[in-house]
């Protein structure tokens, strides 16, 4: 059971204090789960509203088909060692997936996502720092890494996709996917 302490502050200050207290204390809801799952809460200085982000734990195995459909993606044939996590802000969401894929299947999969294998840029990561932090990935940019950004298609799911492929000597690659909805 969560103990609620009254704090007298201005509206914006109160929202900030509440956000910090909830995040620090790991407040629980009536079902015993953590409020908004794992994540962070912060006050929006302009409105005083608390913004929350729910970050699911990283899961192993094939993501549910409904989740992949929701983000407008599929996984490549032969993908192994699949690990994924979903981040849900107040609106939208981001799906992070990492996996090992046989080299020939990577190019076919990029085409299926609406991209082109020639879009892969060697030595470039399409991910920004907050995406890497949310995903828990530590990807070094090197000549072994190639990245691609697949923009929102004119028709179909309204989501962009970012892909990084790290080549491996075993005829497979480590593949990282970030997609938004």
| Domain spans, the chain | 11-52, 56-180
Using only C-alpha atoms, what is the Rg of the chain?
A: 19
Give the mean pLDDT of 105-116.
91
- Using left for φ > 0, alpha for ψ between -120 and 50, and beta otherwise, residue 76 falls in beta
Q: What is the pLDDT of residue 157?
A: 55
Report the distance separating Cα 122 and Cα 147, nearest Å: 7
Q: How far apart are CA 96 and CA 136, in angstroms?
A: 10
Measured from the Cβ of residue 147, the count of other Cβ atoms closer than 10 Å reads 21
Interval 129-154 mean pLDDT:
87
Euclidean distance between CA atoms 121 and 125, whole angstroms: 8
pLDDT greater than 70 at residue 155: no
User: How many percent of the chain have pLDDT more than 70?
Assistant: 67
For the chain, the average pLDDT equals 75
Identify the DSSP state of 159.
Answer: -
Tens-place pLDDT, residues 20-78: 333 433 433 333 333 334 444 444 444 444 456 788 999 999 999 999 999 989 999 99
Q: What is the DSSP letter of 20?
A: H
């Amino acid at each position: 059971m969560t103990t609620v302490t009254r704090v007298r502050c201005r509206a914006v200050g109160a929202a900030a204090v509440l956000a910090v207290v909830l995040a620090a204390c790991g407040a629980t809801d009536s079902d015993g789960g953590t409020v908004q799952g794992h994540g962070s809460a912060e006050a929006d200085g302009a409105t005083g509203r608390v913004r929350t982000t729910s970050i699911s734990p990283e899961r192993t195995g094939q993501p549910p088909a409904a989740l992949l459909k929701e983000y407008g993606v599929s996984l490549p044939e032969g993908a192994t060692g699949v690990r994924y996590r979903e981040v849900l802000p107040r609106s939208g969401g981001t799906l992070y997936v990492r996996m090992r894929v046989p080299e020939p299947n990577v190019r076919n999969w990029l085409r299926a996502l609406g991209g082109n294998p020639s879009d892969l840029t060697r030595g470039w990561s399409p991910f920004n720092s907050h995406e890497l932090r949310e995903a828990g990935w530590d990807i070094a940019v090197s000549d072994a890494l190639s990245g691609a950004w697949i923009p929102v298609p004119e028709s179909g799911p309204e989501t962009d996709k970012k892909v990084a492929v790290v080549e491996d000597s075993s005829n497979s690659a480590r593949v990282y996917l970030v997609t938004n909805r």
